Chains A and B, each alone.
Chain A
Amino acid sequence: MKRFAELFEALDRTTGTNAKLEALGDYFRDAAPADAAWAVYFLTGQRLKRLVGTRELRQWTAEYSGLPLWLVEESYEHVGDLAETMALLAPDGKADSEPPPLHRLVEAVIRPMSELDDTERRERVVSHWRSLPGTERFLFNKLITGALRVGVSKRLVTRALASVAGVEPGIIAHRLMGGWQPTPNRFRALLSEETDDDRGGATPYPFFLASPLESEPDSLGAPDQWHAEWKWDGIRAQLVRRDGEHFLWSRGEELLNGRFPEIEQAAEELPDGTVIDGEIMAWRDDDQATDGGPLPFSVLQTRIGRKKVGAKTLAKAPAVLLAFDLLEDGGEDLRNAALEDRLARLQRHVLGRGGAIRPSAPVRFEDWSELPELRASSRERGVEGLMLKRVDSPYRVGRRRGDWWKWKVEPYTFDGVLLYAQPGHGKRSNLFTDYTFAVHSGSGLVPVAKAYSGLTNEEISELDRWIRSHTRERFGPVRSVEPLHVFELAFEGIARSSRHKSGIALRFPRIHRWRRDLGVDDADRLEDLERLLPD
């Protein structure tokens, strides 16, 4: 625990990438594998189940610090982070002995708390508040509330591990795929030399991600060096078929097995040693002769959360895997082969039309001048835009610029009125950065979107000051403000929703700019948005 707390402090005390890499490297070299395995778990963004609710924690903090509950809540609102508020409110613990090692704290203290009743849980938490010193206590609070953000990316952790192990970062990324088990053996294996085991089992390959194209495509050079396809609005997924088993992984490394039985059934037909990269889409087949077309993301959403799918849902929201890359064929890692070769081999596996695994058809073009029009047709086709991939490109790891570009269609926009604000988290924890925007409906305003990003730091501070001095009402951390400021918001799609008062749900809303030139009366009406609803 002590060593992990030192690592946290070192990472927290610098904004420089190299210093962070160095601190991570030092830690992974020194730390006991049992502890380091958990450090990898937390630093790569995995989290424990929340074991203590925020209300309990506030209550216990009040009792422990001897402060009235309202003052704990006022402090929390000021600090913006409950684990930190608690650590700041009560005097530091008196460390009579060394804090337990990280793995023991997690495995013997924190995880078994789910078995305890309320009184025992409270007793266990408070006894650790008494014994843990400052940073350790803050981290303990973070772990029991299930959210530890340290300000390092998974990619940075991967790089640090790679330099300690002396292997390529891609190998570490691969070893980390498919759910990290925080055991000492797994950690030792993670740092081992490259072996044949780096392929095989359930493990997917790290995904290659496209970068947004910021200029016109003719800047990319000769058009015959590029392959174009639609950018699908579904779930990016990798289908692994090995040793008579199959595994369907999301890009968030969640195992999707059981949720898309139609795709899994088709996967049974694939030969062993096949790995396909593609997009899961809800798909309407008009008849067996055509490819039909994509259904909106909101239809696919009815499948995402469900571990067991009923016949009705299957019929309403049939899913397919649109295959657009082949990463392994006959057990051979194809990632260094050229895209055109991989695609040629992919054709052999997914030739059949009408199946649940089908090719993502290329968009044919001769000249760059044809593409803007095709891209402009994206919305009516139910896609997000175009993908442009260099035909000789290998399948790389992570987001690397140059070979794969996404050229998305321009988003929809509307002008909304700021109605509610609440503090953000982490870096923005004591600034009002999470906003709710409304449009006119009848004679009032109805909230339609929440947005967290899109303003500059200066605008955020200005708005924060304004919100604090123009608060109308408080509902916990949320404040309602005078409807005065208008913002242009962008979003990617719109669907009907029975869960929202407005009756609509917007996809990926974010702030485009602050429209200081507009008054509240100039904001859009709900009808303006409803007009964009698909039929």
Chain B
Amino acid sequence: MPRDLLQPDAGGLYCAAGNFWIDPLKPVDRAVVTHAHADHARSGSEDYHTAVDNLPLLAARIGEDDNTQGHEWNQPFELGDTRVTLFPAGHIFGSSWVRIESEQGTWGVSGDFKRAGDPTCAPFEPAEVDVWVTECTFGLPVYRWDEPERIIDEIEEWWRACKAAARPAVLFCYALGKAQRILAELAARTDEAVWIHGAMRPLVDAYREAGIDMLPTRMVSEAEPGQRYGGQLVLAPPSAAGSTWMRRFPKHSAGFVSGWMRIRGNRRRRGYDRGFVMSDHADWPALIDTAREMNAQRVVTIHGNGEALAGFLNENGVPAESWDLRASLRPSS
């Protein structure tokens, strides 16, 4: 059997024909980076290739450098013996999936992606591939998302209830992507300013500079001494939950925006009052529909509940297998 075009390596995927790695977690010669989340973009590699839109976010993550090359979507470029094209993945601003054309066939690597609407990024753009390497963070059928509209309704209603009770509404969300998506979604409904945690500042700024319309924001760290937050919305990264930073929001109600909130136990265990089920990842139906839409003869699942999705696709006539990228980081391999 001929060797596959891609192999798990360095925590990502290695393409020998093109001599590059996709989303490596260890420093390599040449990295193709799908997006700027820390589990995909790491510093220390010699050269980087990424989407033009992702340049400022990647710079914020790994530092400014002249070794990063930006590519327009849908514009193929040559790497070794392969032709590489980036397409929008709809995950966060500047996120791509990667198509590699080669003598060993055409492969698509999803990075992280979603199919739901998001005012902060270009929608996922499908294209045909022979092999579809798909993330499956939420690769179980219990994960199905409602329309984002409805979740924003819930958030708005909760904020309103907090106002009525004069309680701070502290909304936990990931600092890159989710925070800006919420600020952009709410901008269609109000123009009230929102407090943000300091960790979100550079990322919110980068989105603003990219021309994305969001609610005005104020930094909690720059608030007047004695500032009261009753009825006000505060965005904070999940790492701030339970920290002393939270002491400035007495009697707050805590919400968390994440696909994980679909499971009641996840929310109750972490002590959030409210869970808002909105994710930047594909849900189970979207994972399956996308695999079909890419028209792939073979599917490889990475990141998440890979066995279940691969098993289900196999039973439904799509040959599929699950790869463990993390295993490539262990010393034995």
Contacts and interface: CB of A to CB of B under 8 A. Distances in A.
A323 B253 CA distance: 48
Contacts of B315: 68
Interface string A53-92: 0000000000001011011001100111100110011010
Interface in B278-314: 305, 308, 311-312
20 contacts: A12-B264, A13-B273, A13-B274, A15-B271, A16-B273, A67-B312, A68-B312, A68-B315, A71-B140, A75-B141, A79-B263, A80-B265, A84-B264, A84-B265, A88-B142, A88-B263, A89-B142, A91-B144, A427-B268, A430-B263
Contact of A88 (B144, B268, B311): B144
Contacts of A67: 141, 312
Nearest to B253: A14
Contacts of B265: 79-81, 84, 426-431
A79 B273 contact: no
Nearest to A84: B264
Contacts of A151: 268
Contacts of A65: 141
B262 interface: yes
B308 A74 contact: yes
Interface in B87-142: 140-142
B266 interface: yes
B269 interface: yes
A79 B271 contact: no
Contacts of B264: 12, 81, 84, 429
A151 B268 CA distance: 10
Given A15-B273, A71-B308, A84 B263 contact: yes
A487 B144 CA distance: 40
A74 B307 CA distance: 10
Interface residues of A, number: 29
Interface of B: 140-142, 144, 253, 262-266, 268-269, 271, 273-274, 305, 308, 311-312, 315
Nearest to B260: A430
State the majority secondary structure of interface residues on A: helix
Contacts of B271: 15
Contacts of B305: 74, 78
Nearest to B326: A469
B141 A71 contact: yes
A88 B262 contact: yes
A431 B270 CA distance: 12
Residue among B263, B264, B274, B311 with the highest chain A CB neighbour number at 10 A: B264
A428 B269 contact: yes
A79 B140 CA distance: 10
Task: Specify which of A71, A85, A91 lies most central, judged by the most chain B CB atoms within 10 Å of its CB.
Answer: A71
Contacts of A13: 273-274
Contacts of B253: 14
Chain A to chain B: the 4 pairs with minimum beta-carbon distance, closest first: A429-B265, A88-B142, A427-B268, A75-B142
Contacts of B312: 67-68, 71
